Amino acid sequence: MRKIDIEIGYQFKNVKLLETAFVHRSYSHEKQNKIENNERLEFLGDAVLELTISEYLFKNFPELPEGEMTKVRASVVCEKTLVKVATKHNFSNFLLVSRSEHIGNNGKRRPSMLADCVEAVIGAIYLDGGYIESQKFILNNLAEYVAESIKGLGVKDYKTTLQEIIQRDPTRKLEYVLIRAEGPEHDKTFYMKALCDNVQIGNGIGKTKKEAEQMAAKMAIERMKYEA
């Protein structure tokens, strides 16, 4: 399963956990239950996924009330989004299903099956590498959908708010510049700075450039409030 390690950006110490994450119950039944299926890992992964997204929303979007955070989490932690993650990493190439399931029910490409597999992989990463590693996988794949969902709520993000503040004077220029990026390709951390008329007014760190820009804008806004 080394190929799937590369796909998801995490190398397992216990490869058996990864293999189990891709065993559907139909395949297990076909083998007289001699092979463990992924349902228990799916159960665990679902809990880790909900906690990670909840924590991410709580820490990074202090302007969101409880009800809005619940809406965003529900829109992200759902079958449709998880299928996108499975498709991105070609999970259908590795999923094991029974012969009848494969022939009769669109087997490896059935949305519910792929979504369950993603949760099982999260559970497997959690058991193998701990919460931080499972959190990395989740946010690397789902942070962009969190941002999309928040925009859909009509909530202003920090960059938009900062832009509106700066543009009160049309002669002023706001821009974001990458300071540096650290880490391997599958797990980079980005450092950005916000500049107003070439003067640094904030800096931020994130797992994506957009997230780092948001954090830089947030710092700039907080400084403006403090200095006002």
Output the six-digit token pair for 195.
């500049």
Task: Give the residue from 169, 152, 164, 157 showing the smallest Cα distance to 76.
Answer: 152
Instruction: Name the residues annotated as catalytic.
Output: 46, 119
